[in-house]
Chain A
Amino acid sequence: PHAGPVESKTEAAMSELVPEPRQKPVVPMKPMGINASLLGYIGIDTIIEQMRKKTMKTGFDFNIMVVGQSGLGKSTLVNTLFKSQVSRKSSGWNREEKIPKTVEIKAIGHVIEEGGVKMKLTVIDTPGFGDQINNENCWEPIEKYINEQYEKFLKEEVNIARKKRIPDTRVHCCLYFISPTGHSLRPLDLEFMKHLSKVVNIIPVIAKADTMTLEEKTEFKQRVRKELELNGIEFYPQKEFDEDLEDKTENDKIRQESMPFAVVGSDKEYQVNGKRVLGRKTPWGIIEVENLTHCEFALLRDFVIRTHLQDLKEVTHNIHYETYRAKRLNDNGGLPPMTVETEENHESNL
């Protein structure tokens, strides 16, 4: 949740709007303690506690999209990330479903709760991507969907009678699954990421990383990073949106060393050294999903959920959405898009 209109800073052609620095995140990562032995204590810092309480009450939205060829473990990974059965495959869809002839967009929402905080999580799956013989332009339905969500939000924003809290269906994060060939990226991977890194936050992950040994993984990651750089693909966290030195150093390390995260997903538990762990049991050993020496799932989870969740939402709102909005306004001659109060709109506003 954010208060009031937000300014933006983008390089997109926007003559009308004066570029202003991006607002600093209002909600801090950690709640601060109260020092009781101050003289003349006013109590300003309690505002943080008040905000925290409000956040907990209202909860927040998070929309994550998964893209990749079928069979790369997208649904399993999402289930593992949120430690619950939230993917399309778990919601009654038949696991043995045929590959659809065109790319479909399937969004499923769940409310999950942890420590009193409610999250309305929406997982957007894209079955059919990259599976056909001819995959030309198969990213178009995905780009269209993302822009449609921006459009929906924009329409709400320019409404005269706006809702107190606009429902946010915009895609905050797109996990792109790279096949672990061990060689390099595929032409399709490059095409997708080139087109969509300007519209949404893309986090590339190397799927089914238990296919590669340690050396193969390191080499592959290096090659992929180089290819992404050579092709000018800015994946999240984008260099240009680092706010201060602290952000930059932290993100640099992630960008240059950890990403793309080589992950393994699993929703089955096994007993290892007296502990129950999520893993995969092979004839030659048990792969532990949360063991950092086995794969980087824990890094991905911490990155997406524990440290950068809010930032993902902010970049989506302040950068990607604003870019879309500016383009729409410019196309419309600087005026907000007209919303004719039709039967449809009226109902959705209620």
Chain B
Amino acid sequence: LARGGCPSVLPAAVMDSIIIQERLVERLLSPRTQAQRSHPAKLKDHEKQYVGFATLPNQVHRKSVKKGFDFTLMVAGESGLGKSTLVNSLFLTDLYKDRKLLNAEERINQTVEIVKHTVDIEEKGVKLKLTIVDTPGFGDAVNNTECWKPITDYIDQQFEQYFRDESGLNRKNIQDNRVHCCLYFISPFGHGLRPVDVEFMKALHEKVNIVPLIAKADCLIPSEIRKLKERIREEIDKFGIKVYQFPECDSDEDEEFKQQDRELKESAPFAVIGSNTVVEAKGQRVRGRLYPWGIVEVENQAHCDFVKLRNMLIRTHMHDLKDVTCDVHYENYRAQCIQQMTSKLTQDNRIESPIPILPLPTPDTETEKLIKMKDEEVSPVSACASWVLELESKE
């Protein structure tokens, strides 16, 4: 609230604090007896009347649907690991129609590029503006030293642009180009992570949500997949790489949901296969790959983890990915940036910041309290609650 709100849907914590605020306002405005004031829990029946802000989530929902969502997904990994095919499979589009693949000689002098494809997808009235950030050339050269630099630079640039926009005067139509998720493709041909994989993930794990994937998983038999996943998980721990963690599901969720959530966590990193060609299998038309020895079905959970990835990315965790990007990665960047600026200010003894820091209007006690609470990184809910109690005791 102190920051002027997130550009898209409000996170749950803020919703709760809105509800508490409403209750407080209600109580302050309605006449009460002393006794009732000192026993906040004992409201008379007529005061428990339905106010109506329980419809707030629906209102938010309607507004968001009208506004549409946006999501920026980055794909990274050596060329030839099926990244484009997987993206096409996930979103059932063909984003790479006009792509020209370079041959080996052309690639000798190629540097890592950043290529963006944007597509608007609509499903049941909900609009999604999807941006795919591709990184052709990554890991292909003979000498790949620091080949991730163009990628980290790109991510930082998006953060910087957002920071400027947020601190600017007109904040109505801020465009959020921050990268919400990075799918990192690990080769199935290795025995685990390669040096370039480790270095890439370490350079990016504090800037973006990394979701590691085992690419082209149909070249591995089930026991090999198990071993490889174990190996990768071990190495991720060993090297201290912070990949995206699925949030814990609430204790009041039903058992089926919890079971799904457990399976999801245990399957990471997902072993995926992509395909946009339809083949005939067991009398049904499915998306898959036709081999002389059998048909691999992309959407068959016994064949690969494509369905898990799709569900996680689109159906259950898209919002959390955006939240973590906003609340963790972007905040880290912002804090670093401000720290650098203030240290520069004290060093140079002049006010010289690239971003205009506008003086805030003199805050009233309420806003001040909220700002203080935000600064101390206290959760809005508990802060409001403690504030309520404070006011109570004062009265």
A interface list, Cβ under 8 A from B? 69-73, 95-96, 99, 131-136, 179-191, 207-208, 210-211, 213-214, 223, 227, 230-231, 280-288, 291, 293-294
Contact = CB atoms under 8 A, between A and B. Distances in A.
B364 to A, nearest CB: 56
* List of 9 A-B pairs having minimum Cβ-Cβ separation, nearest first: A181-B80, A285-B294, A284-B294, A285-B293, A71-B190, A211-B219, A185-B104, A71-B189, A187-B108
Interface string B260-297: 00000000000000000000000000000111111111
Nearest to A285: B294
Interface stretch (B90-98, B142-150, B367-375, B386-394): B142-150
Contacts of A184: 101-104
B218 A211 contact: yes
Given A96-B191, A223-B103, A134 B303 contact: no
B81 interface: yes
Nearest to B198: A133
Contacts of B356: none
23 contacts: A70-B191, A71-B189, A131-B195, A132-B195, A135-B142, A136-B142, A136-B143, A179-B189, A180-B80, A184-B103, A188-B142, A189-B104, A190-B108, A191-B142, A211-B218, A280-B221, A282-B221, A282-B222, A282-B293, A284-B291, A284-B293, A285-B291, A288-B293
B196 A185 contact: no
Nearest to B189: A71
A183 B79 contact: yes
B107 interface: yes
Nearest to B80: A181
A294 B81 CA distance: 21
Contacts of A190: 104-105, 108
Interface in B32-80: 78-80
A223 B101 CA distance: 11
Contacts of B140: 186-187
Contact of A181 (B81, B144, B218, B302): B81
**Interface of chain B: mostly helix, strand, loop or mixed:** loop
Contacts of B303: 283-284
Given A230-B105, A231-B104, 11 more contacts: A69-B190, A71-B187, A73-B189, A96-B191, A180-B219, A183-B80, A213-B291, A223-B103, A281-B221, A283-B222, A284-B303
Given A71-B191, A181-B79, A190-B104, A282 B294 contact: yes
A135 B190 contact: no
B216 interface: yes
A133 B196 contact: yes
B23 interface: no
A72 B190 CA distance: 7
B199 interface: yes
Interface in B98-120: 101-105, 107-108
B142 A133 contact: no
B191 A227 contact: no
Contacts of B293: 282, 284-288, 294
With most chain A CB atoms within 10 A of its CB, the pick from B108, B141, B187, B221 is: B221
With most chain B CB atoms within 10 A of its CB, the pick from A73, A187, A188 is: A187
A287 B292 CA distance: 8
B105 A135 contact: no
Nearest to B195: A133
Nearest to A226: B103
Nearest to B199: A133
A132 B81 CA distance: 18
A165 B362 CA distance: 98
A133 B221 contact: no
Contact of B104 (A136, A227, A284): A227
B194 interface: yes
Contacts of B107: 186-187
A130 to B, nearest CB: 9
A293 to B, nearest CB: 5
Nearest to A280: B221
A282 B223 CA distance: 10
Given A184-B104, A281-B221, A208 B189 contact: yes
Contacts of A71: 187, 189-191
Contacts of A293: 292
Contacts of B188: 211
A282 B143 contact: no
A240 to B, nearest CB: 23
B291 A182 contact: no
A96 B193 CA distance: 12
A348 B191 CA distance: 39
Interface in B156-190: 187-190
Contact of A70 (B78, B81, B190): B190
A231 B105 contact: yes
Contacts of A72: 189
B193 to A, nearest CB: 10
Contact of B194 (A73, A99, A231, A287): A99
Contacts of B231: 96
B81 A187 contact: no
Contacts of B104: 184-187, 189-190, 227, 231
With most chain A CB atoms within 10 A of its CB, the pick from B104, B194, B222, B303 is: B104
A261 B251 CA distance: 56
B295 A284 contact: yes
A183 B292 CA distance: 21
A348 to B, nearest CB: 37
Contacts of B187: 71, 179
B290 A135 contact: no
A134 B143 contact: yes
B139 to A, nearest CB: 9
Nearest to B279: A213
Contacts of A223: 103
A187 B80 contact: no
Given A283-B222, A284-B295, A294-B293, A135 B143 contact: yes
B292 A214 contact: yes
Given A182-B80, A187-B140, A227-B103, A99 B216 contact: no
B208 to A, nearest CB: 20
A70 B193 CA distance: 11
B204 to A, nearest CB: 15
A231 to B, nearest CB: 7
Contacts of B141: 187
A184 B104 CA distance: 6
A72 B218 CA distance: 15
B144 A208 contact: no
A73 B219 CA distance: 12
Contacts of B145: 133-134
